[in-house]
C-alpha cells in the first residue's frame, strides 16, 4: 500500500510534524511511504496512492497559500473521480494554542470530501490524544519563542495518526 504525506512549511514545524506522521505510517508492515513538500509532490502520482495525508501551517485559521495552490492543481483528478475512496487525513501547526488549529484542519478536510476521499481522524482513546489533541487530525502548537521545532507530544501524535492511517488503509484495501 502506498501512502503519501504532503506538507507546506516555511519554518520547519509542519515539516517536522509531517516527518513524524510518515514515521508512524512506516511502522505498519506493507506501507510504502512518500514524504514530500508541496514543491516536490507530483499531483500526477496521486492516483497511485492508497492514502493521502496533507497538512500546512495555519494561516489566520485556514490553509496556507502554498498548500492551497497545490490542492488547486487537483481539479482534473476531481473531474475524473481519481481520488474517490482514497483514505485521507490532515495535520497542521500554529504558533498559539487557540490560533485556529481546528478551523484549519476542517478547511484541510473539505477538499478531501469533495474528492470523495474517506477521512480518518484521531479518536480519544489514543493516549497522546486524550488530553492534548484533536479528533480532526493532528494539530500541534509550536510557540515561536521555543527552541524546540516540535514537542515530543506533538511527534507522538503525528506517529499515532500515521500509524492509524496505515492500519485503516490496509484493512480498507482488503474490502474495497
Ligand atoms: C501569514 C501567517 C499567518 C499566521 N496566522 C497565525 C494565526 O492566526 N495564529 C497562530 O497561532 N499562528 C499563525 N501563524 C503562525 C504559524 O501558523 C506557525 O508559526 C506555524 O507553526 C508555522 O509552521 P512552519 O514552521 O511549518 O512554517 C501564521 C503565520 C503566517 C506566516
CB atoms inside a 10 Å sphere around CB 172: 17
Cβ partners under 8 Å of residue 53, min gap 6? 3, 4, 5, 6, 18, 21, 25, 88, 89, 90, 91, 161, 162, 165
Tell me the CATH number at 100: 3.40.50.360
Index of the ligand 1 atom closest to the CA of residue 56: 26
| Residues of the chain above pLDDT 90, percent | 90
Cα separation, 143 vs 140, in Å, equals: 10
Cβ-contact 111, 71 below 8 angstroms = yes
Q: How many domains does the chain have?
A: 1
| pLDDT score, position 128 | 77
pTM score, two decimals? 0.97
Above 80 in pLDDT, residue 70? yes
Based on the number of CB atoms within 10 Å of its own CB, is 21 exposed (0-12), middle (13-18) or buried (19 or more)? buried
**Closest residue (by CA) to atom 30 of ligand 1?**
59
Cα of 44 vs centre of ligand 1, distance in Å, is: 29
| Ligand 1 site residues, Cβ closer than 6 angstroms | 9-15, 57-61, 93-96, 99-100, 142, 144
| pLDDT score, position 3 | 98
Based on the number of CB atoms within 10 Å of its own CB, is 133 exposed (0-12), middle (13-18) or buried (19 or more)? buried
The mean per-residue pLDDT over the stretch 45-50 comes to: 97
Cα of 146 vs centre of ligand 1, distance in Å, is: 14
| pLDDT score, position 120 | 97
Mean per-residue pLDDT of the chain: 95
**pLDDT bracket for residue 176 (50, 70, 90):** low
Q: Which three cell numbers stand for residue 6?
A: 504532503
**Closest residue (by CA) to atom 20 of ligand 1?**
94
| pLDDT, tens digit (0-9, with 9 covering 90-100), for 101-132 | 999 999 999 999 999 999 999 998 888 777 77
Range of the domain at 45: 2-175
Amino acid at each position: 500500500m502506498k501512502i503519501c504525506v504532503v506538507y507546506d512549511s516555511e519554518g520547519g514545524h509542519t515539516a517536522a510534524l509531517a516527518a513524524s506522521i510518515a514515521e508512524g505510517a512506516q511502522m505498519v508492515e506493507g506501507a510504502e511511504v512518500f514524504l514530500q513538500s508541496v514543491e516536490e509532490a507530483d499531483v500526477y502520482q496521486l492516483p497511485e496512492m492508497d492514502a493521502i495525508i496533507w497538512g500546512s501551517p495555519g494561516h489566520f485559521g485556514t490553509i496556507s497559500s502554498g498548500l492551497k495552490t497545490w490542492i488547486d492543481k487537483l481539479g482534473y483528478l476531481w473531474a475524473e473521480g481519481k481520488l474517490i475512496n482514497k483514505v485521507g487525513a490532515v495535520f497542521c501547526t500554529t504558533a498559539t494554542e487557540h490560533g485556529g488549529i481546528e478551523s484549519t484542519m476542517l478547511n484541510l478536510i473539505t477538499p478531501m470530501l469533495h474528492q470523495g476521499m474517506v477521512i480518518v481522524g484521531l479518536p480519544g482513546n489514543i493516549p497522546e490524544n486524550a488530553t492534548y489533541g484533536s479528533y480532526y487530525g493532528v494539530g500541534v502548537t509550536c510557540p515561536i519563542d521555543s527552541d524546540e521545532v516540535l514537542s515530543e507530544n506533538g511527534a507522538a501524535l503525528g506517529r499515532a495518526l500515521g500509524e492509524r492511517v496505515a492500519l485503516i488503509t490496509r484493512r480498507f484495501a482488503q474490502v474495497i
